[in-house]
């Protein structure tokens, strides 16, 4: 079992790990609403009938939740979630989810315990810098409790039109690439080049507008990306592999998700 995190409470909102199948089911229901109903992903027949986003990785992951308890004693509503999988669990079971899109073999060159983050979403009615701050509080505590040295995962741009994201993808490729020694690479059959524009052709202001707020947040704490993007037609996204060295996170997440930083880059 992973080490738990210290629950953080503010008013009716609390961030902690799921501790029951009922709570994981609520997280899957939130993921369905956000990914399939709001973002245009294409559900399988079973996902559509159940109105749940789920896969074989869910049972072997920890699920970080933001819970709204304002409905009263015993009631709860999951309004934000992240799925967390440590390397030890991945190696003992199905591997990493990201491995379906990226060759992760070079990650073995980065020492220590690794953590894959995925399935991140927040209820549209709760999207605020405070809720993002709570999520980062939970992630930061998890990194410390489990001695994580590197976190990574698929980060998504909405839609599958490369031309609409050319400035952003090119900006990332030219300015925020991971060290070659531990850089993931998109699988050859799915590889999409990201350096669509030369450096002098990139409109940086446009690039920053095109980059989703979550990815910008990672960049602000030293995030870097792998080589190549992947188009995911099922989820209606363009995916990049994003990585953050964990020593950059604790103690810094607050100032990168509050105040002027959030206003400028959200």
In 10 A of CB 106, how many CB atoms?
18
In 10 A of CB 199, how many CB atoms?
11
Residue 187 and residue 205: Cα distance in Å, rounded? 30
Token look-up 């993007």 returns 229
The separation between the first and the last C-alpha atoms of the chain, rounded to the nearest angstrom, is 35
Domain regions of the chain by residue span:
8-265
Query: Above 90 in pLDDT, residue 247?
Result: no
CATH, range 8-265: 3.40.630.30
Judge contact between 29 and 52, C-beta under 8 A: yes
Residue 108 and residue 104: Cα distance in Å, rounded? 8
Confidence (pTM):
0.88
Residue 215's SS3 state is helix
List pLDDT tens digits, range 112-163: 999 999 999 999 999 887 888 888 889 989 999 999 999 999 999 999 999 9
Helix (H) or strand (E) holding 118: strand 113-122
List pLDDT tens digits, range 75-125: 789 999 999 999 989 988 899 999 999 999 999 999 999 999 999 999 999
């Amino acid at each position: 079992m992973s080490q738990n995190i210290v629950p953080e409470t503010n008013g009716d909102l609390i961030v902690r790990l799921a501790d029951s199948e009922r709570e994981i089911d609520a997280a899957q229901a939130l993921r369905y609403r956000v990914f399939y109903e709001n973002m245009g992903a294409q559900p399988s027949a079973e996902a559509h009938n159940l109105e749940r986003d789920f896969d074989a990785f869910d049972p072997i992951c920890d699920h970080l939740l933001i819970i709204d308890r304002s409905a009263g004693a015993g009631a709860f509503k999951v309004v934000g979630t992240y799925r967390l999988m440590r390397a030890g669990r991945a190696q003992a079971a199905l591997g990493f989810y990201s491995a379906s899109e990226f060759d992760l073999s070079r990650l073995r060159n980065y020492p220590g315990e690794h953590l894959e983050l995925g399935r991140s979403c927040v209820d549209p009615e709760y999207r605020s810098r405070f809720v993002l701050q709570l999520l980062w509080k939970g992630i930061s505590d998890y990194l410390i409790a489990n001695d994580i040295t590197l976190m990574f995962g698929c980060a998504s741009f909405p839609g599958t039109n490369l031309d609409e994201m050319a400035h952003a993808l090119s900006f990332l490729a030219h300015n925020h690439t991971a060290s070659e020694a531990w850089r993931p690479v998109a699988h050859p059959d799915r590889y999409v080049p990201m350096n669509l524009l030369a450096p002098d052709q990139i409109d940086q202001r446009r690039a920053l507008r095109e980059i989703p707020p979550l990815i910008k947040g990672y960049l602000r704490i030293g995030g870097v990306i792998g080589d190549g993007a992947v188009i995911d037609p099922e989820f209606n996204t363009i995916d990049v592999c994003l990585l953050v060295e964990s020593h950059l996170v604790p103690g810094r997440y607050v100032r990168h998700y509050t105040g002027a930083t959030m206003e400028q880059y959200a």
